[in-house]
Amino acid sequence: MTFENKLKKKLINRKKVLGCWTSLDNEITSEILANVGFDFLLIDHEHGYGDARGITRQLQSLKQTECSALVRMPNDDEVYVKKSLDTGVNCLMFPAVNTKKDAENIVEMCRYAPGGYRGMAPGMIRATNYGMDVKNYFEKIEKELLIVCQIETAEGVSNIEDIGKIDGVDMLFIGPMDLSTSINKFGKFEDPMFLDTIEKAKEKIFKTGKFSGIIPYGKFSWQELLNEGFDLTTAGTEISILRDATMSILDDFKKLK
């Protein structure tokens, strides 16, 4: 098993990266999207389907590609994080990180002692090639790990500077939908209050020196967001791509009747 974090390497080399959000817990779909050429698949375990075995299947489907798996945790659940890392995934996203303390705890649950409290099972996990490459894994995992903290609330925006100071936090990622909801402006992406809030978030994140991420929202496409200076974004979800493409086909078909 290779331990190199391809996504993190691209970001360090200042390359813009584009991914696809996935939630269907399907290794065949993931394999197709990876072979198309996305830099990463954002495997959603907050709202999407799946479990640790599903992560393993999808990692296996990406094995021969240049596409990385970025797995979004349901929350900062120590057991779920541990089981996810044990599969061999090295990119994790955490939703609704609001404080410095939240970020510190996230980093610590991802690291082995003395830097954290991740539990050890070196002889039985996929991450160590089932015990056949323990030394290599333990020497490299902390360096190769990519930890993404989502900024999705007004509280999170107010604490971006402090969150960005935490060693081990690699990226700050804006969640526009939850951010708009947190200020009682659900989906109102043109509202002055939302525009002011998200602009503050962008400026603060860029100043931290951490990698930056966001998803398309309102009138902003993935192209425009990358041009604005973000390092990472997505081109939609596998569900939206499937839904919109098939709806378009059927709309054209109905016009023939």
- Identify the DSSP state of 220: B
Q: How far apart are CA 136 and CA 120, in angstroms?
A: 15
178 contact partners, CB below 8 Å, separation of at least 6? 95, 96, 150, 152, 153
- The predicted model scores a pTM of 0.95
Radius of gyration of the chain (CA): 19
CB-based contact 244:251 (threshold 8 Å): no
> Residue 187: what residue type?
G
Q: How far apart are CA 126 and CA 77, in angstroms?
A: 20
User: What's CA 117's distance to the chain center, in Å?
Assistant: 22
DSSP state of 59: H
CA-to-CA dists, residue 206 to 26, 146, 188, 214, 230, angstroms: 34, 18, 24, 12, 8
d(CA 22, CA 28): 12
- pLDDT value at residue 1: 62
Tell me the residue type at 8: K
| Mean pLDDT, the chain cut into blocks of 10 residues (257 residues total) | 88 98 96 97 95 94 96 93 97 98 98 95 95 95 97 98 98 98 96 97 98 96 97 96 96 91
Positions annotated as catalytic residues are: 47
Catalogue the E-assigned strands of 76-130: 91-94
pLDDT of residue 92: 98
CA distance 179 to 136: 40
